[in-house]
Structure 1
Amino acid sequence: MVNLSRRHFLQATGAALATAGLHQVFSHQQTVLAQPTRRKLALIVGINDYAEAPLKGCVNDAILQQRLLVHRFGFHPDDVVMLLDADATRQSILDAFEEHLIKQAKPGDVAMFHYSGHGSLVRDPHPIFVDRRHRGMNGTFVPVDSTLPSRYPDEGGSVNDIMGHTLFLLMSALKTENFTAVLDSCHAGGATRDLRVRSRDVNEKITIADAEKAYQEDWLARLDWTHDQFVERYRAGVANGVVLAGAQRLQLAIDEQFPGFSAGAFTYRLTQHLWQTETTPYDAIAHINRSMPRFYRQRSLWEAEQGSGYEAEPMYFIDEPNPTAAAIAVTVEGDRAALLIVGIHPSEITPGQVFQSSDRAAWVEVRDRQGLVAIGQVRGTLQSGTPLQLRR
C-alpha cells in the first residue's frame, strides 16, 4: 500500500492533468482498445495563458476532448496531437494541421480539429463575408503568441491571428471527407461583468498581419484556386465534413466556472453528452442548446458541407464507439486511484459512492473529490485508462 494522503494525491493528479505529457502515458489495455480499423487523426489546441485576458478552462477542454477521442472513439494516443498554452503558437498550429492532418489523412480516414481559446475580429480590406454590424470585419482564432499593438486602443496595428478563411483553406486541402472541427471560442468582441468570455477586445483599427494574407495566397496557389473561386466556395458553406461551433457569429462563448474547475460551457456539455450516448452532430447540438443556461445567450450550431448530410452521420464519423463511461482511471498507486470524471457532473459525486469497471473486475469507492478529479480506494485489479460507470 502506498502511503499517500488524499490531499497530496489530489494535488499530484491535478498537476499531472494540467500538463501536456499525461496523454502519452497509456497502458497496454488502452492501446488494444484504441486499435483502429482506419486511421483516426486529431489535432487539439487549448490556450489559457494569454498575455492579455488569460482564460481558465481551455486546457481542461483539450484534456476532456483527448480522453473522449482515445477512450470512447478509439483514437490511438499517438495520433492525437495536443498543443497547449505556450506550444500553441500561430506557426505551430498551422504546421501541425498541415503535417498531422493534411499530409497523413487518406480518403476514408477520420480527421478532427479542436480549438479552445480566444476568438476575435479583424478588419479585412478584402472581406468575403460582410454583415451589417461588423462590416469588413472577419473572425479569427487567437494563438498564444498573438498580442495587440503596444499603443492599442489609441492606435491600431496588425495581429498575428489565424483567420477563419485560413481554416477553410486548410479544411479544403484534406483528402478525407470524414472531418470534424469543434470550435469553442467567440467570433465577436465584447464582455460581461460576471462571466469570463473567450473574446479578445477588438475595434476596427486592428488588421490581420501580412504573413497571414501571404499564407492564404500560398494555399490558393497550392489548391489551384483563383480568388473568385475561393469566394464562391467560401460563401457556399463548410469546406469539408462538419463544423460544431460553440457560439454563433456575434455571440459570446463562455469560459465557465464550475465547482472546483473551469471548462468551456460548450465543450464540457458536448464531451459529457458524448460519453453517455451515441448521437449525431445535429442531435448533439440540439441537446447542448437545451442544456445551456439561457442567460449565457450562447447558442451552439452545426454546419455541414453543402448537400452532404454529414450532420446526420455518427459523431466523428465513427459508427461503433467504445462503451459509455462516467469516469476514467487516470492514476493508480497501490490501492488508491485518481479518476477523471467525464460522463456525469462532478457535483453528483460524493464520498462513499462506487465506480466499477464493465467486467466488474475492479471498483473504486470515492473518498474525496476536487473539481474533475475523484480519489478512491481500489478493490480488485484496476489499470490506468479503464472506463468506469457509477454504481447506482
Structure 2
Amino acid sequence: MTLGRRDFLQRLSAVLAALGVTDSWLAGSVGAYQSAFAETNQRFALLVGINAYPEKVWRSPAKVETERFLQGAVTDVELQRELLIHRLGVDPQNIVTLANAEATVNQILTTAQSHLVEQAKPGDTVILHFSGLGSQATLSDQATDPTFPTLVAADSYWPDETMPVIHDLFTESLMQLLAKLRGVRVLTVIDASSTLPPTLRRGNFRVRSRLASAQGAWQSPASIPLTKPTKTWQQLATDWPGILLHPQLGNGVALEGNWPDFSAGLFTYALTQQIWMSMPAQRQQWFMRRIDRKLSAWTGTDQTSEIFGKAIAQRPGIPLLSGRLPQPAADGVIKTIDQADHSAIVWLGGLPSGLLPYCELGLQLQPLPTLPGLTAVPEGVLQVKTLNGLRAKTTLKNLTDLPIGTPIIEVERRFPKEIDLTVALDPALERIERVDATSALSGLPSIATTAPGEGVADCLFGKSRSLLSATAPSPVAKSIPLEAADLASEQSTVPPGYGLFTPDGSLIAGTTAEEEEAVKTAITRLTATLHSLLAVKILRLTLNPVSSQLPVRLVLETQAPDSKLLLLEETLRSRQLNGSSLSQSERLTFGSLTRNRPEQYQIRLRNAGTETVYYLLFSVVDKSRLSVYCPPFNMAEGSEQTSQVIARESSLPGDTAIKYPKMPETSFALQPLKTTEVFAVACTQPLLKTWKAIRTTGFRYQSDRWAVISDPLSVTQALLHDLHDASGKLKPKPDAPAEHTLTLKSNAWATLSL
C-alpha cells in the first residue's frame, strides 16, 4: 500500500508524537531532508587499509609475526565505507578502496590523483583515509637531520646497502597531491603513527608504527612528479589542506584492538561510531570530545584528540559533517532482507561497543522513519539472533516491506544477571605466575581472565616495571627504541610489586605494592579495586544517549552571576522536543575547565518531557572510586530518611530543571571536576533497590554533597535490577527473557555522562 503525502505525514506524526516528537520538529525535518537530497555536489573517497605486510618492511631481524601483526586496518576501510554509503549518502561508485597488496606506493598515489584530484570540482568534497603502519625517515643527503613522517605501503621495504632508497609513502607526498585541489573540501584521516614506540604492543593493544626510523635516499615516484619532502610532522599538521584527523593517543601513537570477532583501529572505530550517533546541532561543539570519551573508556586513560589543517582557522566544520545528514542518527542500517525466512542482516557500526558481547541475548532494534521515499511508517522490531563482527542476523517481528538501507536504533538491550570483569595477564609474567594469577582470579565472582591482545580486556594484571617499560614514550627524534639505561632509570622509581593497569598499560593509582609479594596475596589485596572497576563497567553499560526515549539534558556550567555553559550531554530526544532546544548563544559559547579561573561550578539536569522521572547522580574519580550525590530534603523533624523516601523524593517533574548542588553556598570544586566523570541516571520509576544498596551500614548521607559508596558493585548491580523492573512496567511488556537475563527498554531510562 502506498500512502499519499498527507496520509503519510499524519501517520508519521502520530508515531513520532508517541515518542515525544512534535509537528514543528517534523515539518522542519522534512524541509531539511528535501534540502539534503537536492544537493548536487559530488563526494569522492579513497580508503586504504593494510593488514598484511611482508617481512621486508621491518628492520632485520624482524621481532614480530609480520604477516599477522595488524588485524584491523582492513576493517577500518569497511567501517568508513558503510558509514559513507548508509549514513552520509555517498554514491558507492564514488568510493575506491585499496586493501593489503593493492595498496602499493604507486597505486595509492595514482589513485589519489585520478580519483580525487582529477575528478573533484569546486564545491565537491574528497575523503582520504589510510589505516596501517606509520613510520619516519631521514634522508641521507640532508646536511641537517630532520625526520619526516611516512606511511608504510604494501610494497615498502627497509633500506639497506643493496637498496638504499626510502620506499615508504612520504606523508608529505599525499599533502602535495591534495594541495592541488581548489575550492574543494578535503577531509583526511590517518590512523597510523610516525611516533617510535618502545614496543609494538601497548597493554592490550597493538601499535600502528614501526620500531625504528629508516634512513636512505629520496626517489621521486615514477608515475607522478613530486618534490622532495621538507616538512616535519608539526609543519604538515599546520599546512595540511582542509582538515586532518589523526589519533593522538598516549604519547601520540595510533592503536588497534580487538572486539568480539573483529579488530579495528581505535580512532577509526570511535570516529565512525560517533558520526553514526551524531545529530546536526550536536556535531560542531561536541564531536571530538565525544570521540575522546570513547577512546578514554576503551584505553582507560584520558585522551585528547586534535583537528589539524589549514581549514581549522576558517572554522568551516568537518567536511561531510557540516551540512545536513541524509539519514537520522542511528545504531546501524539494514543490509539485506530474506522475506521467506523473516530475517535480515544488519550493520551495527553505531551501536555502543560495550553492548556487542550481549547482542545474542536478544538485543532488539527498531526501524527509523526515513524521508523521503518511505511508503509506510515502520512498525515492529528486529531481534538479534547471531553476531559476526558488526554484522548481525536478526529475526523480523511484525515487519513487512522494509527497504534495504533503513536506519535502525536499539529499543531493548539485555544483560546477564552476572556481568564479568575481564582481566588480561601481563605476558612478561613467568609461567608459574600466570598459573597462580589465573587460579586466584577464577576464585573471585564475576572475574574472567584472558591473554593480552586476544580480546577485550577491562584491565591488566602484571608487574609494574615490565608493563610500564612497554608504555614509556619514545622521542620522535630517536631512531631506535629506548635504550636499556633509559628504561632502567625510569623503572627505578616504580614499585616492584604486582598491580592493576588500564587496558593501554597505564598504572591504576594505588594498586601497586612497595615490596615483593605472592601472586595470590596481590589478588586478595586488589579484590576491592577489581569490584570497583566492574561497578564502573556496569554503569557505563547503561549509557544510552542515542537510544533513550526520555528527553533529558545534563549540563555543567559556572554559577551565577557569570553563568557559562561548559559541558553538555543530552539524549537525542531532548533536541527533538519543541521548545527545549538550546538558545543560539548557548550553542556557540562554551568555556573550559582551567586551573587559573576562580569560578564555582554546578550541574543542571533537565527533564524536557511531560512525565516525572526519578534521578541519581554518580561521580567516578580515577576510573574506579564511586560516589553518589545526596539531594537535600525538607523533612519534618523526627521523620526517618529511609531509602524508599530518598528514592521517591529524588524526582524531576516534566518540563523542569534542577541544579546541583542546590544550596547557594555550596559548589563543586574545580580540581575534582577535572578528574571526575559525572553520570546522571533518569528512570520512569523510583530507584528503590539502588538506594537500598547505597544506604548500607557505614554509609554517611551528606546532604547536597557527594558521599562515597562503600560497596559500588552492589549498587550498580541493583541499578540494573531497578531499570529492569521499570522496563517490565511499560507497555508493551518485554518478551519473557531467559531466567538469568535482565531486560532494559529504551523508554524506561536514560543515562548520560559528563
TM-score between the two structures when normalised by the length of structure 2:
0.42
Please report how far the alpha carbon of residue 127 of structure 1 lies from its aligned counterpart in structure 2 after TM superposition: 7.0
Equivalent residues of 2:187, 2:318 under 8 A apart: no
Counting only pairs closer than 5 Å after superposition, residues 214-233 of structure 1 correspond to structure 2 as 218-219=225-226
- Structure with more relative contact order (C-alpha pairs < 8 Å, separation 6 or more): 1
SS of alignment partner, residue 104 of structure 1: coil
Question: Residues 386 and 255 of structure 1: is their aligned pair in 2 closer, same or farther, counting only changes over 3 Å?
Answer: same
The one of 92, 95, 114 equivalent to 2:129 is 114
SS of alignment partner, residue 157 of structure 2: coil
Counting only pairs closer than 5 Å after superposition, residues 85-234 of structure 1 correspond to structure 2 as 85-125=100-140, 135-149=145-159, 157-190=164-197, 191-192=200-201, 194=203, 195-204=205-214, 206-207=215-216, 209-212=218-221, 218-219=225-226
Give the distance between the partners of 1:328 and 1:234, measured in 2 at CA: 40
Equivalent residues of 1:45, 1:88 under 8 A apart: yes
Question: Residues 125 and 107 of structure 1: is their aligned pair in 2 closer, same or farther, counting only changes over 3 Å?
Answer: farther
The one of 279, 292, 295 equivalent to 1:292 is 295
What's the C-alpha RMSD, in Å, of the aligned pairs? 3.3
SS of alignment partner, residue 145 of structure 1: coil
Deviations 1:278-315 (A, max 9, x none): 355774322222332355786432113167423x5154
Deviations 1:305-363 (A, max 9, x none): 167423x5154254101211101222333422221111122442343222222132563
Equivalent residues of 2:257, 2:263 under 8 A apart: yes
Counting only pairs closer than 5 Å after superposition, residues 224-373 of structure 1 correspond to structure 2 as 237-247=238-248, 251-278=252-279, 279-280=282-283, 283-293=286-296, 299-305=304-310, 308-310=313-315, 313-316=317-320, 318-321=322-325, 322-333=327-338, 334=340, 335-348=342-355, 349-359=359-369, 360-361=378-379, 363-373=381-391
Equivalent residues of 2:243, 2:311 under 8 A apart: no
Please report how far the alpha carbon of residue 42 of structure 1 lies from its aligned counterpart in structure 2 after TM superposition: 0.8
Equivalent residues of 2:45, 2:116 under 8 A apart: yes
Give the distance between the partners of 2:105 and 2:95, measured in 1 at CA: 19
Give the distance between the partners of 2:211 and 2:109, measured in 1 at CA: 23
Please report how far the alpha carbon of residue 199 of structure 1 lies from its aligned counterpart in structure 2 after TM superposition: 0.7
Give the distance between the partners of 2:301 and 2:336, measured in 1 at CA: 35
Deviations 1:181-238 (A, max 9, x none): 011001122223643111123235x3355134x778x245xxxxx999x89x957923
Give the distance between the partners of 2:74 and 2:142, measured in 1 at CA: 32
Deviations 1:98-132 (A, max 9, x none): 0011001111111111111110111134779x9xx
SS of alignment partner, residue 377 of structure 1: strand
Stretch of structure 1 that moved more, 290-299 or 364-373: 290-299
Question: Residues 136 and 302 of structure 1: is their aligned pair in 2 closer, same or farther, counting only changes over 3 Å?
Answer: same
Equivalent residues of 1:86, 1:144 under 8 A apart: yes
SS of alignment partner, residue 38 of structure 1: coil
Question: Residues 148 and 116 of structure 1: is their aligned pair in 2 closer, same or farther, counting only changes over 3 Å?
Answer: same
Give the distance between the partners of 1:235 and 1:330, measured in 2 at CA: 39
Give the distance between the partners of 2:251 and 2:223, measured in 1 at CA: 26
SS of alignment partner, residue 292 of structure 1: helix
Letter matched to residue 212 of structure 2: V
SS of alignment partner, residue 84 of structure 2: helix
Question: Residues 236 and 361 of structure 1: is their aligned pair in 2 closer, same or farther, counting only changes over 3 Å?
Answer: closer
Percent sequence identity is 28
SS of alignment partner, residue 380 of structure 1: coil
Question: Residues 115 and 47 of structure 1: is their aligned pair in 2 closer, same or farther, counting only changes over 3 Å?
Answer: same
Deviations 1:73-115 (A, max 9, x none): 1211111111111211111110111001100111111111111
The one of 394, 402, 405 equivalent to 1:382 is 402
Give the distance between the partners of 1:201 and 1:377, measured in 2 at CA: 47
Give the distance between the partners of 2:47 and 2:38, measured in 1 at CA: 20
Please report how far the alpha carbon of residue 386 of structure 1 lies from its aligned counterpart in structure 2 after TM superposition: 2.4
SS of alignment partner, residue 271 of structure 1: helix
SS of alignment partner, residue 148 of structure 2: strand
Equivalent residues of 1:272, 1:343 under 8 A apart: yes
Question: Residues 202 and 145 of structure 1: is their aligned pair in 2 closer, same or farther, counting only changes over 3 Å?
Answer: same
TM-score between the two structures when normalised by the length of structure 1:
0.77
Residue number in structure 2 paired with 1:13: none
Show structure 1 runs of 5+ residues with no match. Answer: 1-32, 221-225
SS of alignment partner, residue 211 of structure 1: coil
Stretch of structure 1 that moved more, 164-173 or 332-341: 332-341
Letter matched to residue 158 of structure 2: L
Question: Residues 58 and 274 of structure 1: is their aligned pair in 2 closer, same or farther, counting only changes over 3 Å?
Answer: same
Stretch of structure 1 that moved more, 235-244 or 365-374: 235-244
Give the distance between the partners of 2:213 and 2:329, measured in 1 at CA: 45
Equivalent residues of 2:186, 2:319 under 8 A apart: no
Residue number in structure 2 paired with 1:16: none
Equivalent residues of 1:187, 1:249 under 8 A apart: no
